[in-house]
Amino acid sequence: MKHLLPGWLAAPLLSLLALSFLPPAAAQNPPPAPTKAEQFTLRNGMTVIVKPDRRAPTAVHMLWVRVGAMDEVDGLSGVAHVLEHMLFKGTKTLAPGEFSRRVAALGGQENAFTGRDFTGYFQQIPAERLEDVMRLEADRFANNQWPDEEFRRELEVVKEERRLRTEDSPRAMLWETLNAATFQASPYRRPIVGWMGDLVSMKPEDARAFYRQWYAPANAAVVVAGDVDVAQVRRLAEKHYGGIQARPVPDRKPRPEPPQAGIRRIEYKAPAEQSYVALAFKVPQLTSFESTPANDDALALTVLAAVLDGYSGARLDRGLTQGPDRVADSAGAGNGLWGRGPQLFTLDAVPAPGKTPAQAEAALRTEVARVAREGVSEAELQRVKTRWIAGEVYKLDSVMNQARELGSLWSQGLPLDAGERLIQRLRGVTAAQVQAVAARYFGDDQLTVGTLRPLPPDPSRPARTPPSGARH
Protein backbone atom coordinates (compact mmCIF):
# COMPACT_ATOMS: atom_id res chain seq x y z
CA MET A 1 0.00 0.00 0.00
CA LYS A 2 1.56 3.28 -1.08
CA HIS A 3 -0.82 6.00 0.08
CA LEU A 4 0.66 9.45 -0.09
CA LEU A 5 -2.60 11.35 -0.35
CA PRO A 6 -6.24 10.38 -0.93
CA GLY A 7 -6.45 8.33 -4.12
CA TRP A 8 -8.99 10.62 -5.79
CA LEU A 9 -6.80 13.69 -5.54
CA ALA A 10 -5.34 14.13 -9.00
CA ALA A 11 -3.38 16.84 -10.76
CA PRO A 12 -3.38 20.34 -9.26
CA LEU A 13 -2.30 23.26 -11.37
CA LEU A 14 1.39 23.54 -12.09
CA SER A 15 2.88 26.38 -10.12
CA LEU A 16 6.21 27.93 -9.29
CA LEU A 17 5.77 26.40 -5.86
CA ALA A 18 5.83 22.96 -7.43
CA LEU A 19 8.76 23.82 -9.67
CA SER A 20 10.81 24.77 -6.64
CA PHE A 21 10.70 21.11 -5.58
CA LEU A 22 11.49 19.54 -8.96
CA PRO A 23 14.91 18.38 -10.14
CA PRO A 24 16.74 21.04 -12.20
CA ALA A 25 16.04 19.41 -15.58
CA ALA A 26 12.32 19.12 -14.89
CA ALA A 27 12.16 22.68 -13.60
CA GLN A 28 13.82 24.01 -16.78
CA ASN A 29 11.51 22.07 -19.10
CA PRO A 30 8.09 21.94 -17.43
CA PRO A 31 5.09 20.59 -19.34
CA PRO A 32 2.80 23.28 -20.75
CA ALA A 33 0.36 24.43 -18.13
CA PRO A 34 -3.33 23.94 -18.96
CA THR A 35 -5.63 26.93 -18.73
CA LYS A 36 -7.14 27.53 -15.30
CA ALA A 37 -10.52 26.02 -14.60
CA GLU A 38 -13.60 28.21 -14.63
CA GLN A 39 -16.87 27.62 -12.81
CA PHE A 40 -20.38 28.98 -13.28
CA THR A 41 -23.93 28.12 -12.24
CA LEU A 42 -26.92 27.52 -14.49
CA ARG A 43 -30.27 29.07 -13.71
CA ASN A 44 -31.55 25.81 -12.20
CA GLY A 45 -28.66 25.66 -9.74
CA MET A 46 -26.45 23.15 -11.56
CA THR A 47 -22.70 23.84 -11.39
CA VAL A 48 -20.55 23.72 -14.53
CA ILE A 49 -16.74 23.51 -14.35
CA VAL A 50 -14.54 23.81 -17.45
CA LYS A 51 -10.81 23.10 -17.75
CA PRO A 52 -9.43 23.73 -21.29
CA ASP A 53 -6.38 21.65 -22.24
CA ARG A 54 -5.64 21.63 -25.95
CA ARG A 55 -2.71 19.21 -26.05
CA ALA A 56 -4.84 16.48 -27.67
CA PRO A 57 -8.15 16.54 -29.61
CA THR A 58 -10.06 14.77 -26.85
CA ALA A 59 -12.43 15.77 -24.08
CA VAL A 60 -13.70 14.26 -20.83
CA HIS A 61 -17.27 14.96 -19.80
CA MET A 62 -18.29 14.07 -16.25
CA LEU A 63 -21.47 14.45 -14.24
CA TRP A 64 -20.99 14.47 -10.48
CA VAL A 65 -23.86 14.16 -8.01
CA ARG A 66 -23.15 15.08 -4.39
CA VAL A 67 -24.70 11.91 -3.04
CA GLY A 68 -23.13 8.62 -2.06
CA ALA A 69 -23.23 5.85 0.47
CA MET A 70 -23.11 8.31 3.37
CA ASP A 71 -26.49 9.72 2.34
CA GLU A 72 -28.28 6.39 2.66
CA VAL A 73 -30.32 5.30 5.66
CA ASP A 74 -30.22 2.03 7.56
CA GLY A 75 -32.04 -0.69 5.66
CA LEU A 76 -31.16 0.85 2.28
CA SER A 77 -27.39 0.50 2.21
CA GLY A 78 -26.13 0.15 -1.34
CA VAL A 79 -29.00 2.05 -2.97
CA ALA A 80 -26.71 4.84 -4.26
CA HIS A 81 -24.59 2.24 -6.04
CA VAL A 82 -27.60 0.32 -7.36
CA LEU A 83 -29.03 3.56 -8.73
CA GLU A 84 -25.74 4.29 -10.48
CA HIS A 85 -26.19 0.98 -12.32
CA MET A 86 -29.79 1.82 -13.16
CA LEU A 87 -28.88 5.06 -14.88
CA PHE A 88 -27.63 2.91 -17.75
CA LYS A 89 -31.01 1.21 -18.04
CA GLY A 90 -33.03 3.72 -20.00
CA THR A 91 -34.89 7.01 -20.26
CA LYS A 92 -38.15 8.09 -21.87
CA THR A 93 -36.46 7.83 -25.27
CA LEU A 94 -33.58 5.34 -24.75
CA ALA A 95 -33.89 1.59 -24.24
CA PRO A 96 -31.81 -0.19 -21.59
CA GLY A 97 -28.17 -0.28 -22.71
CA GLU A 98 -28.71 2.20 -25.52
CA PHE A 99 -26.76 4.94 -23.76
CA SER A 100 -23.58 2.84 -23.78
CA ARG A 101 -24.08 1.75 -27.37
CA ARG A 102 -24.41 5.35 -28.53
CA VAL A 103 -21.29 6.48 -26.68
CA ALA A 104 -19.34 3.61 -28.25
CA ALA A 105 -20.65 4.60 -31.68
CA LEU A 106 -19.24 8.10 -31.10
CA GLY A 107 -15.79 6.59 -30.55
CA GLY A 108 -15.98 7.16 -26.82
CA GLN A 109 -15.53 5.24 -23.59
CA GLU A 110 -17.79 5.58 -20.56
CA ASN A 111 -18.41 4.26 -17.08
CA ALA A 112 -19.49 5.37 -13.62
CA PHE A 113 -18.50 5.06 -9.97
CA THR A 114 -20.02 5.42 -6.52
CA GLY A 115 -18.17 6.51 -3.39
CA ARG A 116 -19.06 7.40 0.14
CA ASP A 117 -19.37 11.09 -0.73
CA PHE A 118 -20.41 11.19 -4.39
CA THR A 119 -21.56 9.41 -7.54
CA GLY A 120 -19.95 10.11 -10.89
CA TYR A 121 -20.59 9.36 -14.56
CA PHE A 122 -18.06 10.00 -17.32
CA GLN A 123 -17.35 9.77 -21.02
CA GLN A 124 -14.08 10.33 -22.85
CA ILE A 125 -14.73 11.20 -26.47
CA PRO A 126 -13.26 13.03 -29.46
CA ALA A 127 -13.68 16.73 -28.67
CA GLU A 128 -16.05 17.31 -31.59
CA ARG A 129 -18.51 14.81 -30.03
CA LEU A 130 -18.91 16.76 -26.79
CA GLU A 131 -22.43 17.97 -27.54
CA ASP A 132 -23.59 14.45 -28.31
CA VAL A 133 -22.61 13.11 -24.89
CA MET A 134 -23.91 16.21 -23.12
CA ARG A 135 -27.28 15.60 -24.73
CA LEU A 136 -27.24 11.94 -23.67
CA GLU A 137 -26.12 12.66 -20.09
CA ALA A 138 -28.63 15.47 -19.57
CA ASP A 139 -31.40 13.17 -20.79
CA ARG A 140 -30.63 10.34 -18.39
CA PHE A 141 -30.02 12.71 -15.45
CA ALA A 142 -33.47 14.26 -15.95
CA ASN A 143 -35.45 11.34 -17.39
CA ASN A 144 -34.08 8.08 -15.99
CA GLN A 145 -36.70 5.33 -16.05
CA TRP A 146 -36.78 1.56 -16.40
CA PRO A 147 -39.15 -1.38 -15.89
CA ASP A 148 -39.19 -3.31 -12.63
CA GLU A 149 -37.85 -6.44 -14.32
CA GLU A 150 -34.77 -4.52 -15.47
CA PHE A 151 -34.15 -3.51 -11.85
CA ARG A 152 -34.44 -7.08 -10.63
CA ARG A 153 -31.93 -8.30 -13.23
CA GLU A 154 -29.43 -5.55 -12.42
CA LEU A 155 -29.82 -6.09 -8.69
CA GLU A 156 -28.57 -9.64 -9.22
CA VAL A 157 -25.52 -8.18 -10.99
CA VAL A 158 -24.82 -5.93 -7.99
CA LYS A 159 -25.24 -8.82 -5.55
CA GLU A 160 -22.77 -10.90 -7.54
CA GLU A 161 -20.43 -7.90 -7.62
CA ARG A 162 -20.56 -7.81 -3.83
CA ARG A 163 -19.80 -11.53 -3.64
CA LEU A 164 -16.89 -11.27 -6.05
CA ARG A 165 -15.27 -8.08 -4.75
CA THR A 166 -16.05 -8.26 -1.04
CA GLU A 167 -17.29 -11.61 0.20
CA ASP A 168 -14.69 -13.60 -1.75
CA SER A 169 -11.88 -11.31 -0.51
CA PRO A 170 -10.94 -11.94 3.14
CA ARG A 171 -9.14 -8.61 3.41
CA ALA A 172 -12.08 -6.73 1.94
CA MET A 173 -14.36 -8.42 4.46
CA LEU A 174 -11.97 -7.51 7.26
CA TRP A 175 -12.03 -3.84 6.24
CA GLU A 176 -15.82 -3.89 5.97
CA THR A 177 -16.03 -5.32 9.48
CA LEU A 178 -13.39 -2.89 10.74
CA ASN A 179 -15.28 0.15 9.41
CA ALA A 180 -18.49 -1.07 11.01
CA ALA A 181 -16.68 -1.35 14.35
CA THR A 182 -14.76 1.93 14.02
CA PHE A 183 -17.75 4.16 13.29
CA GLN A 184 -20.92 4.19 15.37
CA ALA A 185 -22.95 7.23 14.30
CA SER A 186 -21.18 8.11 11.08
CA PRO A 187 -22.74 6.59 7.94
CA TYR A 188 -19.22 5.66 6.90
CA ARG A 189 -19.82 2.48 8.90
CA ARG A 190 -21.90 1.07 6.01
CA PRO A 191 -20.25 -0.46 2.92
CA ILE A 192 -20.64 1.37 -0.38
CA VAL A 193 -21.86 -1.79 -2.12
CA GLY A 194 -24.38 -2.33 0.69
CA TRP A 195 -25.05 -5.11 3.14
CA MET A 196 -26.27 -8.24 1.39
CA GLY A 197 -29.42 -8.32 3.52
CA ASP A 198 -30.33 -4.82 2.35
CA LEU A 199 -29.70 -5.74 -1.29
CA VAL A 200 -31.89 -8.83 -1.00
CA SER A 201 -34.81 -6.77 0.30
CA MET A 202 -34.33 -3.74 -2.00
CA LYS A 203 -37.29 -2.81 -4.20
CA PRO A 204 -37.45 -0.85 -7.48
CA GLU A 205 -39.22 2.02 -5.74
CA ASP A 206 -36.33 2.37 -3.29
CA ALA A 207 -34.00 3.32 -6.15
CA ARG A 208 -36.60 5.55 -7.80
CA ALA A 209 -37.20 7.42 -4.54
CA PHE A 210 -33.47 7.93 -4.02
CA TYR A 211 -33.22 9.26 -7.59
CA ARG A 212 -36.08 11.73 -7.07
CA GLN A 213 -34.63 12.83 -3.75
CA TRP A 214 -31.02 13.53 -4.72
CA TYR A 215 -30.69 13.87 -8.50
CA ALA A 216 -31.58 17.57 -8.52
CA PRO A 217 -29.64 20.13 -10.59
CA ALA A 218 -28.52 22.04 -7.51
CA ASN A 219 -26.93 18.82 -6.21
CA ALA A 220 -24.94 18.13 -9.39
CA ALA A 221 -21.96 19.43 -11.33
CA VAL A 222 -20.93 18.99 -14.96
CA VAL A 223 -17.15 18.91 -15.42
CA VAL A 224 -15.57 19.20 -18.87
CA ALA A 225 -11.83 19.04 -19.48
CA GLY A 226 -9.87 18.83 -22.70
CA ASP A 227 -9.85 20.45 -26.14
CA VAL A 228 -12.74 22.84 -25.49
CA ASP A 229 -13.30 26.50 -24.73
CA VAL A 230 -15.33 27.92 -21.90
CA ALA A 231 -17.82 29.82 -24.05
CA GLN A 232 -18.59 26.70 -26.07
CA VAL A 233 -19.20 24.59 -22.96
CA ARG A 234 -21.33 27.31 -21.37
CA ARG A 235 -23.53 27.46 -24.46
CA LEU A 236 -23.93 23.68 -24.62
CA ALA A 237 -24.56 23.37 -20.89
CA GLU A 238 -27.28 26.00 -20.96
CA LYS A 239 -28.82 24.29 -24.00
CA HIS A 240 -28.86 20.73 -22.64
CA TYR A 241 -28.76 21.06 -18.84
CA GLY A 242 -30.21 24.52 -18.23
CA GLY A 243 -33.78 23.48 -19.00
CA ILE A 244 -33.91 20.72 -16.39
CA GLN A 245 -36.42 21.69 -13.74
CA ALA A 246 -34.95 23.03 -10.50
CA ARG A 247 -35.81 21.15 -7.32
CA PRO A 248 -34.76 21.70 -3.70
CA VAL A 249 -32.01 19.53 -2.26
CA PRO A 250 -33.00 17.77 0.98
CA ASP A 251 -31.42 19.03 4.19
CA ARG A 252 -28.58 16.88 5.43
CA LYS A 253 -28.59 16.31 9.17
CA PRO A 254 -25.18 16.24 10.87
CA ARG A 255 -24.24 12.83 12.19
CA PRO A 256 -21.11 13.47 14.26
CA GLU A 257 -19.15 10.48 15.44
CA PRO A 258 -19.14 10.26 19.27
CA PRO A 259 -15.73 10.23 20.94
CA GLN A 260 -14.08 6.86 21.29
CA ALA A 261 -12.79 6.08 24.77
CA GLY A 262 -10.84 2.86 24.44
CA ILE A 263 -9.31 0.42 22.02
CA ARG A 264 -11.64 -1.77 19.95
CA ARG A 265 -10.61 -5.11 18.49
CA ILE A 266 -12.31 -7.31 15.94
CA GLU A 267 -11.33 -10.59 14.34
CA TYR A 268 -12.43 -12.04 11.03
CA LYS A 269 -11.91 -15.70 10.16
CA ALA A 270 -11.89 -16.79 6.52
CA PRO A 271 -10.07 -19.13 4.14
CA ALA A 272 -6.83 -17.30 3.37
CA GLU A 273 -3.18 -18.04 2.77
CA GLN A 274 -1.86 -15.42 5.20
CA SER A 275 -3.01 -13.49 8.21
CA TYR A 276 -3.39 -9.73 8.04
CA VAL A 277 -3.67 -6.88 10.54
CA ALA A 278 -5.11 -3.40 10.09
CA LEU A 279 -5.08 -0.46 12.51
CA ALA A 280 -7.44 2.52 12.18
CA PHE A 281 -6.87 5.66 14.27
CA LYS A 282 -9.42 8.48 14.38
CA VAL A 283 -7.68 11.72 13.35
CA PRO A 284 -8.68 15.29 12.43
CA GLN A 285 -9.46 16.13 8.82
CA LEU A 286 -8.73 19.17 6.68
CA THR A 287 -11.86 21.32 6.49
CA SER A 288 -10.32 24.48 5.04
CA PHE A 289 -6.95 25.99 4.24
CA GLU A 290 -7.10 28.26 7.26
CA SER A 291 -4.34 27.55 9.77
CA THR A 292 -6.08 25.95 12.74
CA PRO A 293 -4.78 23.22 15.06
CA ALA A 294 -6.97 20.57 13.41
CA ASN A 295 -6.13 21.61 9.85
CA ASP A 296 -2.42 21.85 10.62
CA ASP A 297 -2.46 18.41 12.22
CA ALA A 298 -4.33 16.88 9.27
CA LEU A 299 -1.59 18.12 6.92
CA ALA A 300 1.19 16.89 9.20
CA LEU A 301 -0.48 13.47 9.41
CA THR A 302 -0.54 13.31 5.61
CA VAL A 303 3.20 13.96 5.55
CA LEU A 304 3.70 11.36 8.30
CA ALA A 305 1.94 8.76 6.12
CA ALA A 306 4.37 9.61 3.32
CA VAL A 307 7.36 9.32 5.66
CA LEU A 308 6.16 5.86 6.65
CA ASP A 309 5.03 4.59 3.26
CA GLY A 310 5.46 7.22 0.56
CA TYR A 311 8.11 5.52 -1.55
CA SER A 312 9.97 2.25 -2.01
CA GLY A 313 12.31 1.86 0.94
CA ALA A 314 10.36 4.19 3.24
CA ARG A 315 10.32 3.54 6.99
CA LEU A 316 7.76 0.74 7.11
CA ASP A 317 9.45 -1.01 4.22
CA ARG A 318 12.88 -0.78 5.85
CA GLY A 319 11.72 -1.48 9.37
CA LEU A 320 9.29 -4.36 8.81
CA THR A 321 9.94 -6.12 5.49
CA GLN A 322 13.74 -6.27 5.15
CA GLY A 323 16.47 -8.33 6.79
CA PRO A 324 16.63 -11.86 8.17
CA ASP A 325 14.35 -11.00 11.11
CA ARG A 326 11.71 -9.22 9.05
CA VAL A 327 8.27 -9.10 10.63
CA ALA A 328 6.11 -8.56 7.55
CA ASP A 329 5.88 -9.44 3.88
CA SER A 330 4.33 -6.01 3.25
CA ALA A 331 3.28 -2.99 5.26
CA GLY A 332 1.51 0.27 4.52
CA ALA A 333 0.19 3.56 5.88
CA GLY A 334 -2.38 6.08 4.71
CA ASN A 335 -4.16 9.20 5.92
CA GLY A 336 -7.64 10.33 5.00
CA LEU A 337 -6.99 14.02 4.53
CA TRP A 338 -10.50 15.24 3.77
CA GLY A 339 -14.02 14.06 3.07
CA ARG A 340 -17.64 14.71 3.98
CA GLY A 341 -17.32 12.34 6.95
CA PRO A 342 -14.71 11.60 9.64
CA GLN A 343 -11.28 10.42 8.56
CA LEU A 344 -8.81 7.75 9.66
CA PHE A 345 -5.08 7.18 9.69
CA THR A 346 -4.48 3.54 8.81
CA LEU A 347 -1.58 1.12 9.19
CA ASP A 348 -1.60 -2.43 7.86
CA ALA A 349 0.71 -5.40 7.43
CA VAL A 350 0.88 -8.98 6.21
CA PRO A 351 2.93 -10.90 8.79
CA ALA A 352 5.96 -12.77 7.45
CA PRO A 353 6.05 -16.57 7.74
CA GLY A 354 6.52 -17.52 11.37
CA LYS A 355 5.38 -14.10 12.62
CA THR A 356 2.04 -13.34 14.27
CA PRO A 357 -0.43 -10.50 13.66
CA ALA A 358 0.38 -9.27 17.18
CA GLN A 359 4.06 -8.97 16.27
CA ALA A 360 3.22 -7.11 13.06
CA GLU A 361 0.88 -4.77 14.96
CA ALA A 362 3.58 -4.02 17.52
CA ALA A 363 6.14 -3.36 14.78
CA LEU A 364 3.81 -0.92 13.00
CA ARG A 365 3.24 1.02 16.21
CA THR A 366 6.95 0.96 16.99
CA GLU A 367 7.74 2.79 13.75
CA VAL A 368 5.26 5.55 14.58
CA ALA A 369 6.62 5.74 18.13
CA ARG A 370 10.13 6.10 16.71
CA VAL A 371 9.04 9.18 14.75
CA ALA A 372 7.39 10.55 17.90
CA ARG A 373 10.58 9.98 19.88
CA GLU A 374 13.30 10.84 17.35
CA GLY A 375 11.54 12.96 14.74
CA VAL A 376 12.41 13.06 11.03
CA SER A 377 15.33 14.70 9.29
CA GLU A 378 14.94 17.68 7.00
CA ALA A 379 16.33 15.59 4.13
CA GLU A 380 13.68 12.92 4.68
CA LEU A 381 10.95 15.54 4.89
CA GLN A 382 12.01 17.23 1.66
CA ARG A 383 12.26 13.90 -0.11
CA VAL A 384 8.63 12.98 0.46
CA LYS A 385 7.43 16.46 -0.46
CA THR A 386 9.48 16.43 -3.66
CA ARG A 387 8.15 13.04 -4.74
CA TRP A 388 4.54 14.01 -4.15
CA ILE A 389 4.68 17.35 -5.91
CA ALA A 390 6.60 15.93 -8.89
CA GLY A 391 3.93 13.23 -9.19
CA GLU A 392 1.20 15.84 -9.21
CA VAL A 393 2.92 17.71 -12.04
CA TYR A 394 3.22 14.59 -14.17
CA LYS A 395 -0.48 13.83 -13.70
CA LEU A 396 -1.26 16.95 -15.72
CA ASP A 397 -0.85 14.83 -18.84
CA SER A 398 -4.24 13.17 -18.18
CA VAL A 399 -7.40 15.15 -18.91
CA MET A 400 -9.31 12.41 -17.08
CA ASN A 401 -7.31 13.10 -13.91
CA GLN A 402 -7.92 16.83 -14.29
CA ALA A 403 -11.68 16.32 -14.61
CA ARG A 404 -11.75 13.83 -11.76
CA GLU A 405 -9.89 16.17 -9.45
CA LEU A 406 -12.22 19.07 -10.17
CA GLY A 407 -15.34 16.97 -9.61
CA SER A 408 -13.93 15.50 -6.41
CA LEU A 409 -13.07 18.93 -5.03
CA TRP A 410 -16.54 20.24 -5.88
CA SER A 411 -18.19 17.26 -4.17
CA GLN A 412 -16.22 18.00 -0.98
CA GLY A 413 -17.19 21.68 -1.09
CA LEU A 414 -13.58 22.72 -1.73
CA PRO A 415 -12.34 25.46 -4.08
CA LEU A 416 -11.13 24.56 -7.56
CA ASP A 417 -7.58 25.61 -6.68
CA ALA A 418 -7.48 23.34 -3.63
CA GLY A 419 -4.71 21.26 -5.18
CA GLU A 420 -2.48 24.30 -5.54
CA ARG A 421 -3.35 25.49 -2.05
CA LEU A 422 -2.57 22.03 -0.72
CA ILE A 423 0.91 22.20 -2.23
CA GLN A 424 1.46 25.53 -0.53
CA ARG A 425 0.33 24.19 2.84
CA LEU A 426 2.31 20.95 2.58
CA ARG A 427 5.45 22.92 1.74
CA GLY A 428 5.14 24.57 5.13
CA VAL A 429 4.78 21.39 7.22
CA THR A 430 7.78 21.16 9.54
CA ALA A 431 9.64 18.19 10.97
CA ALA A 432 8.52 19.31 14.43
CA GLN A 433 4.85 19.14 13.35
CA VAL A 434 5.29 15.62 11.98
CA GLN A 435 6.93 14.52 15.22
CA ALA A 436 4.16 16.14 17.26
CA VAL A 437 1.28 14.38 15.48
CA ALA A 438 3.12 11.07 15.72
CA ALA A 439 3.09 11.55 19.48
CA ARG A 440 -0.47 12.90 19.72
CA TYR A 441 -2.82 10.59 17.78
CA PHE A 442 -1.53 7.03 18.11
CA GLY A 443 -2.58 5.95 21.58
CA ASP A 444 -5.18 3.30 22.31
CA ASP A 445 -8.24 5.46 22.90
CA GLN A 446 -8.85 6.30 19.23
CA LEU A 447 -7.70 2.94 17.84
CA THR A 448 -9.61 0.05 16.26
CA VAL A 449 -7.62 -3.06 15.32
CA GLY A 450 -8.79 -5.70 12.87
CA THR A 451 -7.10 -9.08 12.51
CA LEU A 452 -7.66 -11.64 9.76
CA ARG A 453 -7.30 -15.20 11.06
CA PRO A 454 -6.76 -17.63 8.17
CA LEU A 455 -8.80 -20.80 7.82
CA PRO A 456 -8.08 -23.69 5.45
CA PRO A 457 -9.49 -23.35 1.90
CA ASP A 458 -13.06 -24.49 1.38
CA PRO A 459 -12.97 -26.95 -1.56
CA SER A 460 -16.75 -26.86 -1.93
CA ARG A 461 -16.79 -23.15 -2.72
CA PRO A 462 -16.70 -22.52 -6.49
CA ALA A 463 -14.51 -19.87 -8.08
CA ARG A 464 -16.41 -16.81 -9.28
CA THR A 465 -16.19 -14.91 -12.52
CA PRO A 466 -17.00 -11.19 -12.97
CA PRO A 467 -20.75 -10.64 -13.36
CA SER A 468 -22.02 -9.88 -16.83
CA GLY A 469 -23.07 -6.25 -17.15
CA ALA A 470 -20.98 -4.94 -14.26
CA ARG A 471 -20.34 -1.25 -14.71
CA HIS A 472 -16.89 -1.15 -13.16
State the CB neighbour count (10 A cutoff) for residue 203: 14
The whole-angstrom separation of Cα 310 and Cα 292 is 25
**Distance set, CA 3 to CA 9, 17, 295, 412 (Å):** 11, 22, 19, 20
Catalytically active residues, by annotation: 84
Element (H, E) at 51: strand 47-52
- Classified as helix, coil or strand, 363 is helix
Cα radius of gyration (the chain): 23
Element (H, E) at 306: helix 293-309
Identify each DSSP E strand in 327-441 by its residue range: 328-335, 343-351
- Whether the Cβ atoms of residue 151 and residue 86 lie closer than 8 Å to each other: yes
- Whether the Cβ atoms of residue 287 and residue 295 lie closer than 8 Å to each other: yes
State the CB neighbour count (10 A cutoff) for residue 261: 8
- Whether the Cβ atoms of residue 432 and residue 50 lie closer than 8 Å to each other: no
The pairing of strands 276-283 and 343-351 is: antiparallel
- Residue 82 DSSP one-character state: H
